Chains A and B, each alone.
Chain A
Amino acid sequence: MIATITGKLGFWAQVAFVFAYVGILSTAMFVFQFGLGELPCPLCIAQRMAMMLASLGPVWVITQSLRGSLTTAKFMVGLGMAILGAVIGAAMSTRQILLHILPGDPGYGEPILGLHLYTWALITFMVVIAFAGAVLLFGKSFVPVAPVARWARALAWLIVWVFIATIAINMLVVFAEEGFNWYLPDDPTKYVLFG
């Protein structure tokens, strides 16, 4: 009984992980990039990539669970992907924080609640590592058990597909920003593809 409850909790925790990063990535793109016109710098884009790499672990776990083929080993693979993705992202965020740490530096972009986006990004990466550590601490207890209800399964699949759409949209948007160049400029001011 308890194993079933923790299994279901483990499943929805993985879904919440992906949903949270979809929300963060969508806010960065639709509010800051399109709404406020703040073009993301190369390090901002790299941190978006790391958020997606970290999220691919839970996506693997969720889809395997929904198909009824999740094993403990596959669950560990998913958590490993999440942890390593978060470590890569934390290195990127830390680099950007240190670039702007000197007194008098205004930072890059507008702060939210007193912190810049790259600082918030570092916090999310730390949360991911803490989350994965906490789940691992309980051994097999939180190996996800997929729900039976159709609406719940449909909701989980929907979030997975919205995440995949988020990756695709980011790819198109960065192509517009970068054009046919190999790299983004350090301080982008326009969508190069459109001149």
Chain B
Amino acid sequence: MDTIVFGLILACALIIIFKPVRWLVVTSWAVASLAATALFLHHVTSVLPLSF
């Protein structure tokens, strides 16, 4: 999954260089961001024993 997310980020960077259309850049960036967030949420496995 981590490799795939890096691949999505790389794809977004290459779109910015080679196919710089705004909606395409924003969409690819949003997909990469959602994938990174989903990966992060997968690793949030417990409620921390903290009280504020």
Contacts and interface: CB of A to CB of B under 8 A. Distances in A.
Contact of B9 (A64, A95, A167): A167
Interface string A72-103: 01100100010011001001100100110110
B52 to A, nearest CB: 10
- With most chain B CB atoms within 10 A of its CB, the pick from A42, A60, A77, A84 is A60
Contacts of A53: 9, 29, 32-33, 36
A164 interface: yes
B3 A174 contact: yes
A171 B33 contact: no
Contacts of B32: 53
Given A88-B33, A182-B1, A52 B26 contact: no
Interface string B1-12: 111011101101
A29 to B, nearest CB: 12
Interface in B1-29: 1-3, 5-7, 9-10, 12-14, 16-17, 20, 22, 25-26, 29
8 contacts: A46-B43, A56-B16, A69-B20, A91-B40, A98-B50, A164-B13, A174-B2, A183-B2
